Structure 1
Amino acid sequence: MPIILKKYVKTVEAVNRVVGRMAMYIIFVMIGILLYSSITQAFFVPPMWTLEMAQFTMVAYYLLGGAYSMQLGDHVRMDLIYGRWSDRTKAWVDTFTILFLVFYLVMLLVGGWSSTSYALEYGERSYSSWRPYMAPIKIIACIGIFLMLLQAIAEFFKDIARIRGEQI
């Protein structure tokens, strides 16, 4: 494999490792928000913002951690058949199927970018009574989708290397 592809894979994986490990801690923020919501709902007047903020943190948790999950091979896969194949056969199948994932992620990113630019241009707000701005979570979503796209391309290169009998 060309050195530039190896550097690409190493760089993308390093970035996604850092972002993914930082995203792991977002779950504690969400737990804190939901705990605060439970306590205030039981003893005081429940705040309007907690449920929606918990949803926003969950979106950030999933989307920023998705590329790291892909890097670790932790995504759901049908191991009933896939698990019995050789590494080379798995690489061939993954090389083919990842093209569909890349297409999907590109379309998702195009739509996300359009939605984010709309939210920034018009100051889009949620329809809830709390009415937070939507741009920050849409920006985070686009970053997560972009990182997932970069990781999918890196996985494609790793699969090509595996087919050729190399390792990246």
Structure 2
Amino acid sequence: MKPSTLDWVDRLNGRVGRVTSYLILGIIAITIWEVFWRYGFNRPTIWVHETSEHFFAIFFLLGGAYTLSQGGHVRVDVLLLRLSARRRILMELFSSLFFFLFTGLLLWQGIEMGWESVAMLERSQSPWGPYIFHVILMVPVAAFLMLLQGAAIFIRNLGKLREGTAK
């Protein structure tokens, strides 16, 4: 990938992350709605809890690639901090193989789950019973975005290793 392509991946995941972050405002708004109706008029809603779960699931899934681009995922740095920059990059390249394996499996299984969910127009088992295939479809979308971002990071690390900037 060219540097411009790598930057495009960063921008894409940055935009997805920023847009997705607004789902939290949606969760806040509908929760306030629920509190108002439940305690103000003793008229609880049937849809707010499940809708907020759907919003959060989408937020969580689509925010993963953005978090990866910002280096925000949890990792154990105790050993990495003691290594030279070159060895640190080698460790990151090695651990990327596990990332690609896991995320590739997530993409593959997510596509299968999403396909089945859309084919049957899957609904929730709750009394409200909303469609949930749109939430399930976010699993392969999120896995694809994570793979793109992981590939961008991997290629940048390879470049650092080849340039010898990691000494």
CA change 1:162–1:125 in 2 (3 A) is same
Question: Which residue of structure 2 aligns with residue 40 of structure 1?
Answer: 37
The two structures, once aligned, show a CA RMSD in angstroms of 1.6
User: How far did residue 13 of structure 1 move?
Assistant: 1.1
Matches within 5 A, 1:41-120: 41-43=38-40, 44-120=42-118
What are the ranges of 5 or more consecutive residues in structure 2 without an aligned counterpart?
none
Please tell me whether the aligned partners of residues 65 and 145 of structure 2 are also in contact (alpha carbons under 8 angstroms): yes
Question: In the alignment, does 2:157 pair up with 1:159?
Answer: yes
Percent identity, aligned pairs only, is: 29
Q: 1:124 maps to which residue?
A: 122
Per the TM alignment, residue 80 of structure 1 is displaced from its structure 2 partner at its CA by: 2.1
User: What is the Cα deviation at residue 151 of structure 1?
Assistant: 0.6
Q: Retained in 2: the 8 A contact 1:12–1:150?
A: yes
- Structure 1 residue 166: Cα displacement: 6.3
* Conserved? CA contact 1:5–1:157, under 8 Å: no
1:94 is matched by which residue type in structure 2?
A: E
Residue 17 (structure 2) aligns with: 20
**Greater relative CO (CA pairs within 8 A, separation 6+):** 1
How many pairs does the alignment contain? Answer: 164
C-alpha distance in 2 between matches for 1:40 and 1:92: 56
CA distance in 2, matches of 1:13, 1:58: 23
Unaligned runs of 5+ in 1: none
Paired residue for 1:145, among 143, 146, 155? 143
